[in-house]
Amino acid sequence: MEERGGRAVGEGDSEPLDSLRRRGILHVDMDAFFVGVEQRERPELRGQMVIVGFPSERSVVLSASYEARAYGVRSAMPMASALRLCPRAIVVEPRHALYYEVSRELMALFREFTDLVEPLSVDEAFLDVSGAVRRLGAPEHIAAAIKAEVRSRLGLTASVGVAATKFVAKIASARSKPDGLLVIRPEDTVPYLHALPVEALWGIGGKTAEVLARLGIHTVEDLAHTPDSTLRRMLGASGLHAKSLSWGIDPRRVTPQREEKSVGAEETFASDVVEDEVLKRELLRLSHRVAARLRSAGLEAGTVALKLRYADFSTLSRSRALTVPSDSAHVLYREGVRLLEGIGPRPQSVRLVGLRGERLSRGGGAVQLSLERGEDNWRTAEKTIDAVAARFGHSSVRPASLLGEGSDRRRPSSADESPGPSL
């Protein structure tokens, strides 16, 4: 599927160079990446209902083929639920080393077209091709060339959105899946956005949509014409950011990945741990330590990484890119728990757990776009914690779930509140 603002992409476009450059942002998103790699390695899986994940009721779906998605299977769904929906699915255990190797090849391919590549995860990235249009042609032709190279060299398919901003490009890629190309011209941006349901805006989930619906706000256009005072009262500061997005306003630039820096903390347990509850409680403690260090340095993390060291000293690491960089312990903890749950059954007990913020940038940029009002409350509370800790010490205030642990023999052996080492 190849469209341009609702029209098929054609050859022989003749537009002024500055006009072409205005829509030079691409969002490239691989289609069911883990499944696609497995199907490339095992052609007999093509066209089958395939789920990548561990075949255990406690594990979650990491990726699903479009044949399985037709039955309602989705990423991050509990495996037990997925198999109830699609009992004939073929479950394939993940091979992360292979996926990361293919990801490196993918990002190297992108950089053959432009130096301005901003990876978001192993299988998606923003590309700014505005400086390449004189050499390579219109942005949509560059996008088509990238899709063709991904297919011929990697044996995979990708969906691409082309627009004037990162936000609109990402919406376009999502709405062109699978194996599609959708171009939203600058002059078509607002009409296109305004025809979408309000949930299309980043951060507006089911609960927020229900709140907005009670006010008669059902579409992006409805939100765009809602008074600022109403949005501020209902959604906090992020409501005004959502309104900017509803008019296609997103000034963020594509930022190439720089030399990686990180802020992290880790702890070794006094005795090895198997219970998820204990691991999650320690992740909460580490999240507050890492977030406090980020805020004190004026930094935000674009990626959250989890580290587990097992009883035999083998180590496993997983990471997850954030939609918007954050210095919030609430956000770090939420993503850390998702990473932990995504690992599936652990082969043995855990002796060390660590959490790290990566892809650091200076704070004060985009608002963390979760439009649930509670996000503003979390940010305010954490800033208050910083002020109290600065005056009375880090042990003077902590989350309620971390109180009363003095007699817990499973607490980490070095459970002080000072910043831990980077992972």
Domain 262-402: CATH superfamily, name plus number: DNA polymerase, Y-family, little finger domain (3.30.1490.100)
Which segments of the chain belong to CATH 3.40.1170.60?
33-96
- 79-137: pLDDT as tens digits: 999 999 999 999 999 888 888 889 989 999 999 999 999 998 889 999 999 999 888 99
Neighbouring CB atoms inside 10 A of 324's CB total 18
Q: Which two tokens stand for residue 297?
A: 């340095």
Which segments of the chain belong to CATH 1.10.150.20?
195-246
Would you list the DSSP string of 320-332?
A: EEEEEEE--HHHH
pTM of the predicted protein model:
0.63
Binding-site annotation, residues: 29, 123
| CATH domain 33-96 topology | MutS, DNA mismatch repair protein, domain I (3.40.1170)
> Above 80 in pLDDT, residue 319?
yes
End-to-end alpha carbon distance in the chain: 43
Which CATH number does 195-246 carry? 1.10.150.20
pLDDT at 167: 95
Choose, from 2, 118, 124, 282, the residue flagged as catalytic: 124
- 190-223: pLDDT as tens digits: 999 999 999 999 878 888 888 899 989 999 999 9
Q: How far apart are CA 183 and CA 140, in angstroms?
A: 7
Q: Pick the closest to residue 357 from 285, 289, 404 (CA basis).
A: 289
Kindly indicate the confidence band of residue 357, based on its pLDDT and cuts at 50, 70 and 90. Answer: very high
Amino acid present at 323 = T
- Would you say how long the chain is, in residues? 423
Which segments of the chain belong to CATH 3.30.1490.100?
262-402
- Helix then strand count (H, E) for the chain reads 16, 14
CA dihedral 104, 110, 114, 119 (to 10 degrees): -60
Task: Please give the mean pLDDT across all residues of the chain.
Answer: 83
Binding-site annotation, residues for Mg(2+): 29, 123
Strand segments, DSSP code E, in 124-254 are 124-128, 158-163, 181-183
Q: Pick the closest to residue 343 from 121, 100, 96, 101 (CA basis).
A: 96
> Above 70 in pLDDT, residue 420?
no
Q: How far apart are CA 8 and CA 272, in angstroms?
A: 59
To the query of whether residue 124 is one of the catalytic residues in this protein, the response is yes
